[in-house]
Structure 1
């Protein structure tokens, strides 16, 4: 099976290394088989290989082909759902454990970059931006909750004047800046992890889509031309399950989101737009953006539920970018691309097991850079030592998207139309 090429993105054009891995064409055995070569899968494979496990990693396309290689690149504290929501779901004590694990994921992301010397353009700082009085109040509440209840002291609140000093756009009325969060080149980060996993002895196969999982004390994973027998399996497919597990697929929705990269603007122009940080508004359907190491604006947003990329994507993304930054009206768009983010009904992470020896982690809902890494670590930890921290996530209740596989997308379109109207109002 031939792996698809990477999408024509700025990330693919600026990738700093490339790999050629074989397709699986025989029957092999492993202690652990990992399905998916995004951040989640590669981190879990790397951690287990470093502890002496024989690990096989199967990727349907090229390594880092999915969200890990084409996302907005923001590494953000916490989870996609707010801590107050987690408290309502699982109680304050469990919510505190989840918070600590999320911060660990962010810290370990930075540490991995140092430990494996990954060249991925890490920059500190992330701003969440308000656009109306309701947003201003929400950011103030968020700030006080995290500082007072969780002792998180990396945050700074910006009023109208302060946010205009930091983000040169007429749209924003307030901001919540986190010095602990940051941003990076997601494909180069993922490829750096792949290089580390390869060096640690992980057997990696591209163009090797898993077509069937046969459960048992020893799990059999079949591909088009081969199979793996493994004691443990890690499912790290997220929005790219494509029929592999109907149960998991019913609880995560692949939502298309899109990014444009401008022509190079120069360091001074980028700094005038935003002071080195990443940023996003707090609308339900949000815009997010940052400047690249070669001084382009990477501007993301817009969503699609049909699976089809919008026509004339460059023009659509350019129009929204100019809405936020009118001073960029004369700037050209060099790249525009999209990919799927996997969201859950409640925006909380969905971790668990399909069987005692089959682990999964999905539904990062836009917080994948840091959360995917800690998910991979927790699954490796569950296999190698203790599952206590991983199994904690099974306390979070998850429901299937209504309508089944055929009707869940139109049902979500209707629901999201409501939230878009709410954003505009």
Structure 2
């Protein structure tokens, strides 16, 4: 059965609800994209802009998964860059790590997508080693002549900027930012359809049949295409070759009632997105209507808003005791995909079947790069795709069957590492 959107702040504040008809009957296309999250929609829009007849098949609703539930932080960089540096030169890697930002900004302007896009981001240090890492990041920004404001902040400056004294310092980057992810995804879907793409919701893919052309089969129809793009993350198991390379990680968010002007001034007057560098991290920002959105990764598999709020609110108040008494209006969660080596998984299962998944929490940015790489590969240009495809995947048996204990073990392992 298709599932509705989770009870998130984003789902409650969408500009428009999607209502694309399910796939019925047999269809033909140049490209069939499986999945209508950021990767699938970004791929479809890029292909539609280039004149392809593209059909998107989605089991639930546009943006139903992590794309419509995440923290809404637009962060430059690609997870696992130390591996990517072995595969390409620094200039190309630098271009790719910011390409998603460029695509999003261009589309927001070109298609009039109202998604509350705003710039300003703060990496916050919990340990001295984080400050050393931030200094390396600062030096790299300087070497490349980064054309946005960026600077290191000491403990006092950090406290003055975001109203809490728990951090040792921070790195301000005004080239990163934040947005309403579900409105972005839905807006890009609308743009793709206006350019001729077809989207089917409530259409779970059962299998991909191989032949002279691949056929994507659902319960009520099929799409036969020259190329298929599997644009799935933690929710897709349609292709056996992709199983066992993704570690599912659960992340949960609360959204408070709107803050008043005095509260905003005391916690985040510059309206920045904020994140710490831990794997079991905390991330937060203000929404456009000044709610405090606070997220963290925890070992929990349910969707009970009261449980999520009960866990997250004390963490928030530990940072901002001045918000004591604030009410939580929304609480939700989702699953992100993390490859063991952290590098996004982009490649080909066959010459006519492509895949992109596993962004390790950098999905808003990198999914849009991935969409461009998928579209390039459909046209036969593989230079950038092969950089990712050349990094061997590490498989771990039982990652689906034993998902819950593996997630629990992984969270415990990273909690220990974060404390070092």
TM-score, structure 1 length as denominator? 0.93
Please give the alpha-carbon distance, in whole angstroms, between the structure 1 residues aligned to 2:387 and 2:419: 38
Within a 5 Å distance, the mapping from 1:54-133 to structure 2 comes to 54-81=53-80, 83-87=81-85, 90-91=86-87, 93-133=88-128
2:165 corresponds to 1:173: no
Please give the alpha-carbon distance, in whole angstroms, between the structure 1 residues aligned to 2:56 and 2:39: 12
Q: Stretches of 4+ moved more than 6 A in 1?
A: none
Aligned length: 417
Deviation of 1:272 after TM superposition, in Å, equals 2.6
Equivalent in 358, 361, 364 of residue 359 of structure 2: 364
Change (3 A) 1:147 1:248: farther
Q: Deviations over 1:314-359 (max 9, x none)?
A: 1111111112211112100000000111111111111001110111
1:263 maps to which residue?
A: 257
Equivalent in 320, 332, 341 of residue 337 of structure 1: 332
Change (3 A) 1:422 1:113: same
Q: Unpaired runs of 5+ in structure 1?
A: none
Change (3 A) 1:123 1:268: farther
Query: For the Cα contact (< 8 Å) 1:270–1:297, is it kept in 2?
Result: no
Deviation of 1:55 after TM superposition, in Å, equals 1.2
Structure 1 counterpart SS, 2:3? coil
Please give the alpha-carbon distance, in whole angstroms, between the structure 2 residues aligned to 1:342 and 1:66: 11
Change (3 A) 1:417 1:13: same
Change (3 A) 1:265 1:235: same
Please give the alpha-carbon distance, in whole angstroms, between the structure 2 residues aligned to 1:267 and 1:396: 49
Change (3 A) 1:222 1:410: same
Structure 1 counterpart SS, 2:296? strand
Within a 5 Å distance, the mapping from 1:320-399 to structure 2 comes to 320-384=315-379, 386-399=381-394
**Which segment drifts farther, 113-122 or 400-409?**
400-409
Query: For the Cα contact (< 8 Å) 2:28–2:225, is it kept in 1?
Result: yes
Please give the alpha-carbon distance, in whole angstroms, between the structure 2 residues aligned to 1:220 and 1:363: 24
Change (3 A) 1:85 1:269: farther
TM-score, structure 2 length as denominator? 0.94
Please give the alpha-carbon distance, in whole angstroms, between the structure 2 residues aligned to 1:16 and 1:356: 38
Please give the alpha-carbon distance, in whole angstroms, between the structure 2 residues aligned to 1:108 and 1:401: 34
Please give the alpha-carbon distance, in whole angstroms, between the structure 1 residues aligned to 2:120 and 2:127: 23
2:49 maps to which residue?
A: 50
Deviation of 1:151 after TM superposition, in Å, equals 4.2
Please give the alpha-carbon distance, in whole angstroms, between the structure 1 residues aligned to 2:104 and 2:238: 29
2:133 corresponds to 1:135: no
CA RMSD in angstroms, aligned pairs only: 1.9
2:247 corresponds to 1:249: no
Please give the alpha-carbon distance, in whole angstroms, between the structure 2 residues aligned to 1:381 and 1:170: 47
Within a 5 Å distance, the mapping from 1:194-273 to structure 2 comes to 194-241=189-236, 243-273=237-267
